[in-house]
Amino acid sequence: MSEPTTSTVNDDLSGNYFNRELSWLFFNSRVLEEAKNPNVPLLERVRFLSISASNLDEFYMVRVAGLRTQELAGITNRSFDGLRPEQQLQKINKRVRKIIKAQEKCWNNLKRELYKEKIKVKSVTDLKKSEKDKLLALYQSNVFPLLSPLAIDPAHPFPFISNLGFGVVVSLARSDHADPLYAIIPVPHHIPRFLHIHYDKKNKTDIYVSVEEAIQYAAHDLFPEFKILDSGVFRITRDSDIAIDEDAEDLVEHFEFLLRKRRRGRVIRLEMNTGISPALRDFLVEGFECWHEDIQDGSAFIGMAALTCLITNYRPNLLFTPFQARFPERIRDFDGDCFAAIAAKDILVHHPYEEFDVVIQFLEQAALDPNVVAIKQTLYRTSDDSPIVNALIEAAERGKTVTALVELKARFDEESNMRWARDLERAGAHVVYGFVDYKTHAKVSLVVRREGKTLRTYTHLGTGNYHAANAKVYTDLALFTVDPALGRDVGKLFNYVTSYSKPKDLEKLVIAPTGLRARLEELIDIEIANVKEGKPGAVWAKMNALVDRQIIEKLYEASQAGVQIDLVVRGICCLRPGVKGLSENIRVKSIVGRFLEHSRIACFGNGDVLPNQQAKVFMSSADWMPRNLNRRVETLVPIESPTVHRQVMQQIMIANLNDEKNSWELRADGKYVRTPPIDPSKPFSAHEYFMENPSLSGRGKSLNYNAPKELTLPPRKKSKRPNNPKPSKTAKLSVVKSEQKS
């Protein structure tokens, strides 16, 4: 069992909460633990190490940069866990040093294991002469022509290096120069981080050398008149957060300006290799003007996000067993007609276990169908070659009314979103950019189809983005429905964003920022009232992050009343569970595994023990964070179809609560510990369960002979439930006969 990771606990009243930034760092430590997990295939472990490094890069670009700005501005406001910006930065730096040390140790171990599999990442000094010759030949043909060495002297100022840029720094000597001359060799982003100098297909042997080692080895070719005294490797991270001017008249033009400004954001982290000389270190610190920023100079290999270069498909034995997502059989029952299948009954598609192609097919069919008169679509993030956008362009060119709500403020996707917006406008679509002060984070598609003398709405509501690549690794839910009330509500949501008209009299849909917070609190209050009346009270919820203090306090109130609360929170959790008198009825777990948990679900007992058919069940685009509830346009979607209701609560949620293989339990002291399996020889994995078992709502006729495996709800331990009956330990995932006919 891995060592638990621990967060810092305050001793004052703010000790009821965990710090947001530190909680995220502990999530990243759980990602790193998968890189150490011997049950994970070797190259997938390399991938997890790469992800942990990439996560840390973004954390610095946004979160650390924001705290540093506050510190420099003299802001002393405390976070709700009681820490000032400089205190948070101190704790972050301490924790990051531990993470970097753990990453370094992990990489050294992985290198040894890769070596046993004949994937050899070598230093130049370990190469044979023939291998050095191959390295130089590869360097001369593929790297040397792209390099631009930059000498630094009074006539040549310190060069600009872009965000996440790295390179080699050298000190040089020449007979006519008394003092050393310094130079920088930036490495272009498109150069592979590793040079593949040898591949023996027969013996399955690969040899790699990092590009920075190759540059250092051959640096004399770049400076033929100089003697190279010393060299080192560096990498920088820049402040990449964007502060939007709410008074900007042209939002697109303003974002183009901000993106140019982002590229030149101040350096907030400087990484240097182990053993870099003090002279080169001081030269870099002064050149990047980062005397007071985070300086890290203890890594033998910096920029571990680039380790994905070592992952190859021709080593399938070192990767996860390939998984083929299912296409909803119920659509096949209707000969591939999405509209006919959805009109018959709601369908819930569970990505990545069921193909994202069904979403693409839905919109492509809408684009070609002569009876479809209008399509309205939100776009928060999408892929570079987006089939969703292509379908919208096709629809617009065929004369249909297409409204695309493109969110420019989707962090790090701003440029691609602006490009898609221009393409859509050229095709004749109406493109809107939402609010200046709110992000539109809802995932919604509305198709209006003429059927006879009436118009019928087909609605897609999701928890994840319209991104085909992400849908292969992100777990998300997508609901297709012809419910006219939801169709009307979604129409009002689009009108809200396009015309600033706040939606009134919504029938079923709840949206942020106008009502989602109040609805969540109301649903929790109902559970509290049920307990006070002697009925059961229960909440199950799944999300990516739990940060909102107001919601946390409401959950504490519910726990103190005796409501039984189970939370599956993948990443940040500021709630402290299991504290006597505060939160002893709250359990929190995090699932980190093959797929990235991304769906948001909330289930409320509604006067009975969960799971039950009367429970109120919702899916959502929103995490329980202030930004989602206060500053974003989000959706909370009620699940009312009996089959979909059972699928979400008694299949998806119960499987998540049962998961042992990928789960970590959060304790009151801040430690995350791996969930001990009931049967160590067969730990239950929710991911494996969903890969092996069909969903309920998409199976159609095949459900008669291919029902999913039944699951039993795990019992609670040491739970406190005053004046309430004990929760059921035998809640079954089953398919009743009436649903088998669907």
Catalytic residue among 198, 350, 351, 441: 441
Residue 200 contacts residue 147 (beta carbons within 8 Å): no
**Helix axis angle, 85-116 relative to 42-59, nearest 10°?**
160
Q: How many helices (H) and strands (E) does the chain have?
A: 21, 27
Dist. CA 210–CA 8, nearest whole Å:
37
What's the half-sphere exposure (Cβ side, CA atoms, 13 Å) at 258? 22
Which pair of tokens denotes residue 664?
Answer: 């970590």
**Could you give the 3-state DSSP secondary structure of residue 416?**
helix
Can you give the length of the chain in residues? 742
Dist. CA 208–CA 212, nearest whole Å:
12
Dist. CA 686–CA 660, nearest whole Å:
8
DSSP secondary structure code for residue 376 in this structure? E
Dist. CA 588–CA 579, nearest whole Å:
12
Residue 515 contacts residue 542 (beta carbons within 8 Å): no
Which pair of tokens denotes residue 500?
Answer: 């600033």
Strands 663-666 and 586-591 come out as antiparallel
What's CA 182's distance to the chain center, in Å? Answer: 40
The Cα-based distances of 221 to 125, 147, 186, 214, 257 in angstroms read 18, 11, 15, 12, 39
Nearest C-alpha neighbor of 329 from the set 705, 724, 730: 705
Biggest CA–CA distance in the chain, Å, is 92
**Could you give the 3-state DSSP secondary structure of residue 377?**
strand
* Dihedral sign for Cα atoms in the order 691, 692, 697, 700: positive
The kind and range of the H/E element at 653 are none
Residue 423 contacts residue 397 (beta carbons within 8 Å): no
**Number of C-beta neighbours around residue 130 at 10 A:** 10
DSSP secondary structure code for residue 515 in this structure? T
What's the half-sphere exposure (Cβ side, CA atoms, 13 Å) at 265? 25
* Dihedral sign for Cα atoms in the order 692, 387, 595, 666: negative
The Cα-based distances of 459 to 36, 56, 146, 485, 502 in angstroms read 43, 37, 50, 11, 20
Known active-site residue 441? yes
DSSP output for 130-146: HHHHHHHHHHHHHTGGG
The neighbouring-strand residues paired with 169 are 184, 232
Dist. CA 380–CA 420, nearest whole Å:
11
Instruction: Supply angle C-alpha 311, 313, 314, rounded to 5.
Output: 110
Phi, psi of 330 (to 5 degrees): -65, -30
Residue 588 contacts residue 665 (beta carbons within 8 Å): yes
What's CA 290's distance to the chain center, in Å? Answer: 29
Dist. CA 385–CA 62, nearest whole Å:
27
**CB within 8 A of 441, min separation 6: which ones?**
380, 407, 621, 622, 628, 632, 633, 634
The neighbouring-strand residues paired with 455 are 450
**Could you give the 3-state DSSP secondary structure of residue 607?**
coil
Strands 586-591 and 564-569 come out as parallel
Q: Spell 411-439 as b/e; 16+ CB within 10 A means b.
A: eebbebbbebbebbeebebebbbbbeebb
Which residues are known to be catalytic? 441
